Amino acid sequence: MKEIIVGLGERSYPILIEAGLLGRAAAHVGRFARGDRLVIVTDENVAAAQLPALAAGLSGIAIETIILPAGEGTKSWAMLERLTDRLIDLGVERSDRILAFGGGVIGDLVGFAASILKRGCGFVQIPTTLLAQVDSSVGGKTAINSTAGKNLVGSFHQPDMVLIDPDVLGTLPPRELRAGYAEVAKYGLIDDAAFFDWCETHGDDVLAGDADARVEAIAYSVRSKARIVGEDERETSGRRALLNLGHTFGHALEAETGFSDVLLHGEAVACGMALAFRFSAAQGLCNEEDAARVGFHLARSGLPSTLAEAHVDTSGATLVAHMAHDKKMEGGKLPFLLARGIGQTFLAKDVDLAEVERFLDGER
């Protein structure tokens, strides 16, 4: 088993990575049961594919299961109200630990609910998608979407533990797997060119189901994120902001496509990263060869790297208008993650949105 610690002093927590971990869940989360009971929150798809395996792994512990609709629409005020009401009905107390069993949507929603329920109770992340395993389950960012944009209502609330079983990826649709892979490649693009080299060589293995490649990709990504979160938990120094590479462009694309299955989050991030590198090249910050290399690898991995591939055909002004709702906006300025090359991402706070608009119009 690989164990990685997110170092946050008294709030530090372990991330456990091992094939078959779901079947041994009781050994790790059983201590969180109160009166031999645990509450699991999941969605319809995960319940059908994976809940029996988790239930078997929790043999001897009574479980209450809350099953929510699958999809980005579940990260909403309505579902937050439905979930918190049900948790209250079940008598969940501040000392309890809720199991968030699903992808990023379930992890974000359950984490946010846990942060506000009775002024804060605990939760455990058991991510079931590659994207959630390498990114959203680690670091304590929780949120729901609002009509104005993605993740605009939320809190920082760290889990007590993260259990990652790579075997659950075997039931993941190929499109979801590719979407998660975008976040794997991101870690090489932000500050480790050698890992991006590894992705170019082994990315196909990760997507094809090679067990060793998947464990290596997950473990490297988690170590990278744990290190950055430990250095800058609440994104105050700018270090953690590096993890947002591709997200400013990507969230605008998601907003334009209605936060729907037209464009999955990881697909939007992939396109956003390609756009960020091409915009950086257009601004003379990095060479065009690096930008082309990024776009080629993402496209080769089955991910969108252009607006057309992301099913977006709208003006730069429309996309920039979506960006105006970004939660990172400060003093009327929107910071962008740009690059001086592969593995050389930096936070730019002086980007002219008119330049972004013109660039996006040229990308159509």
pLDDT at 289: 98
Average pLDDT over residues 8-22: 97
3-state secondary structure of 130: helix
Residues designated catalytic: 119, 141, 183, 225, 235, 240, 244, 247, 251, 265
Residue 171 clears pLDDT 90, i.e. is over it: yes
Residue 348 clears pLDDT 80, i.e. is over it: yes
pLDDT at 149: 82
pLDDT tens for residues 256-291?
998 889 999 999 999 999 999 999 999 999 999 999
pLDDT tens for residues 232-259?
999 888 899 999 999 999 999 999 998 8
Residue 332 clears pLDDT 80, i.e. is over it: no
Average pLDDT over residues 207-212: 97
Beta-carbon neighbour count of residue 189 at 10 Å?
28
Average pLDDT over residues 141-158: 93
pLDDT tens for residues 53-83?
999 999 999 999 999 999 999 999 999 999 9
User: Who wins on pLDDT, 331 or 183?
Assistant: 183
Choose the weakest-confidence range: 24-28, 121-125, 227-231, 259-263.
259-263
pLDDT tens for residues 107-125?
999 999 999 999 999 999 9
Residue 331 clears pLDDT 80, i.e. is over it: no
pLDDT at 236: 85
Of 75, 276, 301, 314, the closest CA to residue 175 belongs to 301
**pLDDT, averaged across the chain:** 96
Strands 97-102 and 345-348, bridge-based pairing: unpaired
Average pLDDT over residues 10-20: 97
Torsion angle of C-alpha atoms 16, 18, 22, 27, degrees rounded to 10: -60
Residue 327 clears pLDDT 80, i.e. is over it: no
pLDDT at 147: 85
Q: Of all residues in the chain, what percent carry a pLDDT higher than 90?
A: 91
Measured CA to CA, the distance from residue 202 to residue 130 in angstroms comes to: 15
Widest CA span in the chain: 62
3-state secondary structure of 110: helix
Measured CA to CA, the distance from residue 323 to residue 149 in angstroms comes to: 9
Question: CB within 8 A of 151, min separation 6: which ones?
Answer: 75, 108, 141, 143, 144, 145, 251, 327
Tokens of 347: 């936070």
Measured CA to CA, the distance from residue 226 to residue 21 in angstroms comes to: 20
Average pLDDT over residues 209-235: 96
pLDDT at 333: 82
